[in-house]
Amino acid sequence: MRLLGAAALVAIVGSVTAPPVSAAPSSAPLEIVVLSNRADLVSGGDALVEVRLPAGADPSSVRVAVDGKDVSSKFALRPTGRVQGLLTGLRVGANTVRAAVADGRGAQLTITNAPIGGPVFSGPHIQPWGCTPGGVDKECNRPPQYNYVYQRTSGGSLAAYNMASPPSDVAMTTTDTGETVPFIVRQEIGVLARDQYRIAALFDPKKAGTPWDPPAGVNSKLVITHGASCDTAYEMDAAPDVLVEPALAKGFIVMSHALDNAGHNCNIITQAESLVMTKEKVIEEFGPIRYTIGRGCSGGSLVQQQVANAYPGLYQGITPQCSFTDAWSSAQQYVDYQLLRAYFEHPDKWGLGVVWTPVQMMSAYGHPNVANPITFTEVISSGGDPSRPCPGVPAAQVYDAQTNPRGVRCSLQDYMVNVFGATADGKARRPADNVGIQYGLSGLLAGTMTAAEFVDLNTKIGAFDIDYNPQAARTVADPLALQRAYTSGAINTANNLDQVAIIDLRGPDPGAFHDVYRTYAMRARLLREHGTAANQVLWRGQAPLLGDATFADDAVFAMDRWLAAVEKDHRAVPLARKILDDKPASVADRCTNGAGVDVPGAVCDGTVQAYASPRIEAGAPIADDTMKCQLKPLRREDYPVALTDPQLAALRATFPTGVCDYSKPGVSKQGAIAWLTYNGAVGGRALGPAPVSAVATGSSVLGKAVLPATGRRSALAVGLVVMAVGLAIRRGGARVARRPRTTPR
């Protein structure tokens, strides 16, 4: 009985020394924070995690478990002054992480891990998919490769660095944090999300670095490079170049992924996913990133602007050059150009009997150079055509309505079927629409196009059917696809772009389809959504398209100054307010001579001219993000010229439901819903706020009767004392029993 009592006392004392983690003795919580990503978007089995301790807690007493397995050895007080650890080997799906300190305060967090091949949030994989040689599985995975380059003391381009026989002419570089280190760069090339990534940063051969103690010179700031164009590939490709010497020299980490190259992958959700996954890897190698800056021209600007709006927080600053606002509103211009070219370039087909002049064509095209629509539609492959030659898909496997109706449909909407969904026949829903559009209306109003020409153009231009065959009728958007084009951010209304700093880089428009008006279209969207466009700084120069040879690098450093100021602003005000208030005076609109020398803004006003698009010429707002217009009745009195009865009848037959009323918002127009996931949700569902840890409710950190290390030692010591006391009591009791009785029974 006495021994049982002593054992019970040991248990009681033990429970007081290290109680269940749910019995926190103070209001200060312990927190578990995933540093490398949102806890519900982790991939590849790894996660950089921090255990944030309540005041007074002993860092050495921290115990951590994943699904009941002790992983405490992975955590320690790091040079950062924080308790951090890199978890590895996480299983696919939910992983329960629990942590506690000796006094019993603890927390629990679920980390959801996706395979290194994904998907994380993009939904079912694009199929088919071709891997380059060297993959170890169907997801194209392979061990990463590393190569090293350096800057020579004699200058020039970066040269190969031999780790086995180091060169003697390594130059030094001084980073923006004031560190002077050897200018040696490590480039990592690997595969995640079924495609190639690249990561480059300064590298110290004598010290590999850790996420809590990165290599000397690394400034914990990230630049993402991007590719160009817009296409839909079904195979791996090389990631964009990351050996950006000026940024690397200052200590920036530079990363890219093949899927952020729009010319390889023009799908907004796989673009975003690849960047989230690669950025996670960067953080797991180099530690938390202070802020991320995007860099890229053409399709690279497209990725930056549409992804920054749909997945706010992925970038803190973007520097779009020769910019496109997004893929789908730009696609409207492309398709309209194809329709107009078919009309203007084949008068024999229509029996026009007239020759269209460039001035008349401009009132339909919106651009004075009639080569602009030619270059756009010839250089960029038609993303609307499901039967077009398709990168990675043998010709025999591509869709053909007659010969291969079950083939791969290579259109952009089919590539994005997780966003748009499919109809019963398996074809992706399509948001395209040109109902009610009066092509060339500006010419009719200005008198450069006759009524007969205007009527002939609009009655004959037609559209494309779902298989991209020409048809006489106008294209009608699928209602679900139209709605999802906006909610996904595929049409970028800029509703979330007030949360990112923008430096737009522009040069004159030579008629090579990188139209200047798109910069002002984005400015119009910002003004409409937020009442200001002050977070968009405009740099213009005389070099065609690019603006200036120095812009791309200078913009990164200017953006760095801007974001550093925002970073220091700890006011309890919205981020959008900080971006506006903290913009340095040195980060302002610029005009240069094309070679880095600033000149008066009037010079650029005269040279960097903005034109328009076919829909803007048809009366659409400069914002140019109305995919389907609301309609109004077609009335004779709305036209400045007299229409004959046959002409009016022809227009009414073409527009039986009316013509565009651009005084009203577009049909289904709305802002992007931030951070949509398409896993198990065609059309997307909002992820909501990132998961946070909660006070643990289990009986212990490890899910069984195991105490924190300090608690176990304390409980053991107290238990031994109690057992000793118990034994002494027992022996003392025996002696008392043998003692002569002094009282009667």
Tell me which of 410 and 703 has the higher pLDDT: 410
Q: What is the dihedral of CA 400, 406, 407, 412, to 10 degrees?
A: 90
Q: What percent of the chain has pLDDT over 90?
A: 86
Are 282 and 255 in contact, with CB atoms under 8 Å apart?
yes
pLDDT digits (tens, 9 = 90+) for 577-621: 999 999 999 999 999 999 999 999 999 999 999 999 999 999 999
Phi, psi of 95 (to 5 degrees): -130, 125
pLDDT at 437 over 60: yes
**What does the pLDDT average to over 148-159?**
97
Helix 371-379 / helix 327-344 crossing angle, nearest 10 deg: 120
**What does the pLDDT average to over 696-705?**
56
Q: How far is CA 508 from CA 515, 517, 598, 613, 714, in A?
A: 9, 11, 16, 16, 75
Predicted confidence at residue 351, as pLDDT, reads: 63
What mean pLDDT is reported for the chain? Answer: 91
**What does the pLDDT average to over 482-507?**
98
| Distance of alpha carbon 679 from alpha carbon 675, whole angstroms | 12
Are 282 and 222 in contact, with CB atoms under 8 Å apart?
yes
Q: Is 473 helix (H, G, I), strand (E, B) or coil?
A: coil
Predicted confidence at residue 353, as pLDDT, reads: 57
| Distance of alpha carbon 226 from alpha carbon 585, whole angstroms | 28
Please give the structure tokens belonging to residue 105: 């305060």
| Distance of alpha carbon 37 from alpha carbon 48, whole angstroms | 8
Predicted confidence at residue 206, as pLDDT, reads: 84
Tell me which of 618 and 739 has the higher pLDDT: 618
Tell me which of 697 and 263 has the higher pLDDT: 263
**What does the pLDDT average to over 397-412?**
97
Helix 645-654 / helix 451-460 crossing angle, nearest 10 deg: 30
pLDDT band of 463, cuts 50, 70, 90: very high
| Distance of alpha carbon 243 from alpha carbon 514, whole angstroms | 25
Range of lowest pLDDT (273-287, 643-657, 683-697, 729-743): 729-743
**What does the pLDDT average to over 181-206?**
97
Range of lowest pLDDT (18-22, 127-131, 577-581): 18-22
| Distance of alpha carbon 426 from alpha carbon 571, whole angstroms | 52
* Beta strand pairing call for 69-70 and 106-114: unpaired
Tell me which amino acid residue 104 is. Answer: G
Q: Which residues contact 357 (CB under 8 A, 6 or more apart)?
A: none
pLDDT digits (tens, 9 = 90+) for 344-403: 988 777 665 567 888 889 999 999 999 999 999 999 999 999 999 999 999 999 999 999
How far separated are the first and last CA of the chain, in Å rounded?
24
**What does the pLDDT average to over 495-512?**
97
Tell me which amino acid residue 19 is. Answer: P
Are 689 and 9 in contact, with CB atoms under 8 Å apart?
no
Topology (CATH) of 19-119+687-706: Immunoglobulin-like (2.60.40)
Predicted confidence at residue 350, as pLDDT, reads: 62
Q: Which residues contact 692 (CB under 8 A, 6 or more apart)?
A: 31, 33, 39, 109
| Distance of alpha carbon 707 from alpha carbon 726, whole angstroms | 24
Range of lowest pLDDT (13-17, 35-39, 125-129, 546-550): 13-17
Predicted confidence at residue 715, as pLDDT, reads: 39
Predicted confidence at residue 161, as pLDDT, reads: 97
Tell me which amino acid residue 97 is. Answer: V
Predicted confidence at residue 559, as pLDDT, reads: 99
**What does the pLDDT average to over 307-313?**
98
Please give the structure tokens belonging to residue 96: 């329960």
Predicted confidence at residue 716, as pLDDT, reads: 37
DSSP string, 397-412: GB-BTTTBTTSB--SH
pLDDT digits (tens, 9 = 90+) for 628-639: 999 999 999 999
Are 113 and 92 in contact, with CB atoms under 8 Å apart?
yes
Dihedral of alpha carbons 444, 446, 447, 448, sign: negative
Which secondary-structure segment (H or E) carries 691? none
pLDDT band of 21, cuts 50, 70, 90: very low
Predicted confidence at residue 344, as pLDDT, reads: 92
Looking from the CA of 604 toward its CB, the CA atoms found within 13 Å total 25
pLDDT at 714 over 80: no
pLDDT digits (tens, 9 = 90+) for 276-300: 999 999 999 999 999 999 999 999 9
Question: Minimal CA–CA distance to 579: which of 596, 565, 558?
Answer: 565
Q: Dmax over Cα atoms in the chain, in whole Å?
A: 140
Q: Give start-end residues of each CATH 2.60.40.10 domain in the chain.
A: 19-119+687-706
pLDDT at 731 over 80: no
Predicted confidence at residue 476, as pLDDT, reads: 98
pLDDT at 428 over 90: yes
Dihedral of alpha carbons 528, 532, 535, 541, sign: positive
Phi, psi of 318 (to 5 degrees): -130, 150
Dihedral of alpha carbons 437, 454, 613, 263, sign: positive
Cis peptide before 665 (omega within 30 of 0): no
Predicted confidence at residue 571, as pLDDT, reads: 98
Question: Minimal CA–CA distance to 238: which of 264, 218, 219?
Answer: 264
Burial class (CB in 10 A: 0-12, 13-18, 19+), 742: exposed
pLDDT at 186 over 60: yes
Predicted confidence at residue 650, as pLDDT, reads: 97
**What does the pLDDT average to over 118-133?**
98
Which secondary-structure segment (H or E) carries 506? strand 501-506
| Distance of alpha carbon 513 from alpha carbon 527, whole angstroms | 24
**What does the pLDDT average to over 4-20?**
32
Q: What percent of the chain has pLDDT over 70?
A: 89
Predicted confidence at residue 357, as pLDDT, reads: 87
Question: Minimal CA–CA distance to 257: which of 234, 276, 235?
Answer: 276
User: Using alpha carbons only, what angle is made at residue 721 by residues 719 and 726, rounded to the nearest 5 degrees?
Assistant: 90
Are 256 and 239 in contact, with CB atoms under 8 Å apart?
yes
HEC string of 226-247?
CCCCCCECCECCCCCCCCCHHH
